[in-house]
Every structure is written in structure tokens, then in C-alpha cells.
Amino acid sequence: MNVIAIHGGAGTLRKTDMTAELENAYRGGLEQALTLAYENLKNGGTSLDAVAIAVKSLEDYPMFNAGKGSVFNSIGKHEMDAAIMDGQYLKAGAVCGVSNIKNPVLLAKAVMQQTDHVLLSGEGAMQFARQVGVEMEEDAYFFNELRHQQWIDLKESEVFQLDHSDKKFGTVGAVALSSDGNMAAATSTGGMTNKKFGRIGDSPIIGAGTYANNKTCAVSCTGHGELFMRSVVAYDISCLMEYKGMSLKDACQLVVYDKLVKIGGEGGLIALDNNGNIELPFNSEGMFRGCIDKDGNMKIEIYR
């Protein structure tokens, strides 16, 4: 059984600001990522490769806040975070605060596969990237007029933005189940516009924004990272299933619509279980999301 689900961030544009043209462009990016990842799965590829392929595709697409489309931080640079986890061996790799890395998810995968570490940060992580030959890009590659204007609008203020003025939580992620029963999850983000102080959110934190375990589920989150970190959201879903015997659906409902709402934790997540069930819950106005289910049906949605 092959299943893939992806997200391109929660919050989204307000529905009133969305044009048909913009919507088509977002949908195109999601469709491309789904198609590439599903092709890999159908050809016998691993769920781990599938989530890396999907997230790479979203990172390369300039409309999502990750990779090429990353927002500007307070000094006009791009600082990105990413994580990947293999549900079969409970192995994980992650990077935070990296710049000029074309695909942070591939760097996270290299951390998982080529080191004994889980999380590498900042300049050190980039040194590792150069050593293993992960693809680098100049600042110009990440330049985007819209993102730049968002930063210019904010940079004299003390305001951090989770993506832009209408609270789009910019993150991308993928979860997959391959026919061998293995699951994986990956998440990547460009952070918050005008962010300062080397702030790190939930995306690269195993258990918070990203988690996979063949016994239970694969999860990738998007939303107000601080609240997701304090709630250890991704591992919470797994524990509710493993220790309380909840279904994936019930665990997702409890966490996203009850626990997170109570603390003001806006956002959502994508999740799979080992029977190929898919959940894409969010408590924000929208979440860019899509999946190809066990019957091969593709679905792409933005609003409720």
C-alpha cells in the first residue's frame, strides 16, 4: 500500500485575498510534489525517499516558505530549519539555522544517514553540508520580491511574522507509507519574517514538529511553533495511539481541535497510520494540503 500526504503551511492567505490565479499556482506546487513522491513509491521506493522527494519539490517551489521561498529574517538573510524521521528504525536527522542550503531536507537526511547525530545547527551544520557536498545556492537564489517587501514592511518594527501579515504559518511537510509497511515524516521551513535572536520553531524538533514510528503514525506539523513545542504535538499523537489505544483520527481530533485550541495553538498537521489512514486536521482558516490515498486518489485542498 502506497500513501503520501503533504502540506504547504497552515493559516494560508485569507480566503478573500485568494485569486483564482494564485490558487492555481499553489495547487500546481502541491500536485507536483505529490506526483513525484507517489511515483517513487509506486516504483518500489522507500517512504523515507518519498517524503524527501515531496519536501524537496515544495522547497524548490517559490510560493511556500521553505527552501527557495524562505522568508527574510531580521537582518535580511534566510535561516532555514528541517527534519526527517524514519519510522522503521526511529532514526532522525535535523538541521536548524542554516543558510544557502538549496534543500534543507536533504541536509537533514544526510545528518541522519551520515552522522551519529540528530540535530546540527548554524555555521557548523553548513560546514557539514560543504563536507558532504549538499547543494548550496547564493543569496540571490532565495531572493523573492514578495518576501523582500514583507520584510521591508516589518524590519523597523519589533514584530515577527510567522509568514506574513495574515498569519500564514509557512512550513512544508510530508508523510508517507510505502508498500513494505514503513512510514516516514519530514518538515522544512524558512521560519518567520523578520525573526530575531536565532529563534527555532517546532519543525526541526523530533517529537514536536516531526515524528514517525511504524508502530503508530507519521506526523508533520505546521503552525505556531512555540505552542507545538510546548505540547510536543507529533509525539503526543503517537502516544495517544500507542498508550491509550486511540485511532489516528481520534488522536488528531483531540490534539488539534481541543488541546491546541485551549492554549491558542493555531495550525494543523498531516498524519498517516500504518493502515494507510490519512488525517489532515487544522484549526486555522486554511492549510495548503494534499494526499494520494491507498486507492490512488489524489486530493488537494486549501480551505475548510
Residues with a catalytic annotation lie at 171
Establish if 264 lies at the interface with its own copies (CB under 8 A).
no
Segment contacting its own copies by CB under 8 A, of 87-95, 135-143, 147-155, 178-186: 87-95
* Residue 84: strand pairing partners: 93, 186
Establish if 123 lies at the interface with its own copies (CB under 8 A).
yes
Which residue in the set 22, 25, 90, 261 belongs to the binding site for its own copies (CB under 8 A)? 90
Which residue in the set 19, 20, 133, 197 belongs to the binding site for its own copies (CB under 8 A)? 197
- Cα–Cα distance for residue pair 86/38, rounded to 1 Å: 17
Establish if 244 lies at the interface with its own copies (CB under 8 A).
yes
79, 89, 170, 171, 246 from 55: Cα distances, Å:
17, 21, 13, 10, 28
Establish if 108 lies at the interface with its own copies (CB under 8 A).
no
Establish if 206 lies at the interface with its own copies (CB under 8 A).
yes
Establish if 128 lies at the interface with its own copies (CB under 8 A).
yes
Which residue in the set 122, 153, 247, 253 belongs to the binding site for its own copies (CB under 8 A)? 122
Nearer Cβ to its own copies (46/74): 74
Report which of 75, 76, 120 is spatially closest to residue 97, judged by C-alpha positions. 120
Establish if 113 lies at the interface with its own copies (CB under 8 A).
no
- Cα–Cα distance for residue pair 194/155, rounded to 1 Å: 6
Where does residue 155 rank: exposed (0-12), middle (13-18), buried (19+ CB within 10 A)?
A: middle
* Residue 282: strand pairing partners: 268
- Cα–Cα distance for residue pair 85/66, rounded to 1 Å: 18
Report which of 229, 207, 225 is spatially closest to residue 267, judged by C-alpha positions. 225
Which residue in the set 119, 183, 272, 278 belongs to the binding site for its own copies (CB under 8 A)? 119
Which residue in the set 239, 253, 257, 277 belongs to the binding site for its own copies (CB under 8 A)? 239
Establish if 130 lies at the interface with its own copies (CB under 8 A).
no
Report which of 102, 62, 44, 79 is spatially closest to residue 195, judged by C-alpha positions. 79
Nearer Cβ to its own copies (52/119): 119
Establish if 229 lies at the interface with its own copies (CB under 8 A).
yes
* Residue 271: strand pairing partners: 219, 279
- Cα–Cα distance for residue pair 176/181, rounded to 1 Å: 10
Segment contacting its own copies by CB under 8 A, of 17-25, 59-67, 90-98, 266-274: 90-98
Determine which helix (DSSP H) or strand (DSSP E) holds 34, and give its type and residue range. helix 20-42
* Residue 219: strand pairing partners: 211, 271
Establish if 144 lies at the interface with its own copies (CB under 8 A).
no
Residues that bind its own copies (CB under 8 A): 90-92, 96-97, 115-125, 127-128, 160, 196-201, 205-208, 211, 225-226, 229-232, 235-236, 239-240, 243-244, 263
